[in-house]
Amino acid sequence: MFIRSNSFSRVSLLVVISAALLGHAARADDFPSHPIRLIVPYSAGGSADATARVIARQIGKANGQTIVVENRGGSAAIVGTEVVKNADPDGYTLLLGQSGPISINPAVYKDLPYDPIKDFAPVSLTSTYPYIMVVNRSLGVKTLQEFVALAKSKPGALNYGSTGVGASNHLLTELFNLKAGIKMTHIPYRGTALAVADLVAGQVQVVFSDPISALALINSGTLVALAVTSKDRSPVAPSVPTIAESGYPGFDAVGWHGILAPAKTPPAIVAKLNSEIVQALKDPETRSLLESQAIQVVGSSPQEFASYIKQDLALWKDVAEQAKIEVK
């Protein structure tokens, strides 16, 4: 009796597992059968929103379903990110992830309502974008070396603007301070436009800006571009050297966008989404639209994206600890 009961239990278990696997396969084969929500944890406008809308349109063409971009900004992108964490893991609610909420928030917030590793399933790293280190022309420096020499001669006297305490360019500037061995005073703003406006007015001396916000002012001669933060020069500013080639080998810190799903989304659905996203990113129209926003197209496997997130998390955690940055 015991043997027969045990055998029956094993058969039952196999039936349950098989049914679950078949259920997942069926859902993947049928996916998507209705519109998908792509949550952008920022208000409309900006590089994240632009990236989401381009990708959504191209994926929609491929799978025949509407990808609805939904802006859910607020609390340093925490609000929209948490929406996706709590969504059903069926592939119909996705997150346009970014370095801020996924890599940097965990480094600066003690009580974050989500875990970037445990609560999400990476689908694909879609794109990266460098920051440009810009100064007011009146500062009188034309190279990164000249800027560092000036900052070292006046510890704490130079002010740098950022888009807020704990923001991407706040930590990025502190990373540069650590590498260059300089000290500057942080002036936080509510957005890049305000920080750049005060840079033009001479209230701050340097800003690490996204390229789109600074290019027109660089081209007009109002601001001087000293360096870009990526390991390679930016196609939209090819004459601007990298920080790495300006005396700090290995410096490579960029912003990024990527698609994530809620944790426990079936692997088959993640794989299908990944295939469609990577294919959309290869489309010449997609590349052209994103590159016009100074965004560099990537496209990756889920595993590559997961590894990338872990490396980025480690980088910003180290910077936050060394610079003693904490958002309360």
**Tens digits of pLDDT across the chain (328 residues):** 333 444 444 545 444 445 444 454 445 678 989 999 999 999 887 778 888 999 999 888 877 889 999 999 888 899 999 999 999 999 999 999 999 999 999 999 989 999 999 999 999 999 999 999 999 999 999 999 999 999 999 999 999 999 999 999 999 999 999 999 999 999 999 888 899 999 999 999 999 998 888 999 999 999 999 999 999 999 889 999 999 999 999 999 999 999 999 999 999 999 999 999 999 999 998 999 888 888 899 999 999 999 999 999 999 999 999 999 999 7
Cα–Cα distance, 53 to 67 (Å, whole number): 9
Is the pTM of the predicted complex or chain greater than 0.95?
A: no
The domains of the chain, with CATH numbers, are: 31-129+254-323 (3.40.190.150), 132-246 (3.40.190.10)
Cβ atoms within 10 Å, residue 311: 9
Tokens, residue 22: 């078949």
The Cα angle at residue 243 between residues 203 and 235, in degrees rounded to 5: 95
Cα–Cα distance, 21 to 24 (Å, whole number): 5
Burial of 169 (0-12, 13-18, 19+ CB in 10 A): buried
Cα separation values, 314 from 106, 127, 175, 217, 310, Å: 10, 20, 13, 34, 6
- Read out DSSP for 63-117? HSS-EEEEE---TTTHHHHHHHHTS-SSSSEEEEEEHIIIIIHHHHBSS-SS-TT
Q: Give yes or no for a contact between 200 and 117, defined as CB atoms under 8 angstroms apart.
A: no
| Type of residue numbered 254 | V
Paired strand residues for 127: 257, 297
Cα separation values, 239 from 16, 132, 150, 224, 236, Å: 61, 12, 23, 12, 9
pLDDT of residue 27: 59
Helix axes 46-63 and 284-291, enclosed angle (nearest 10): 170
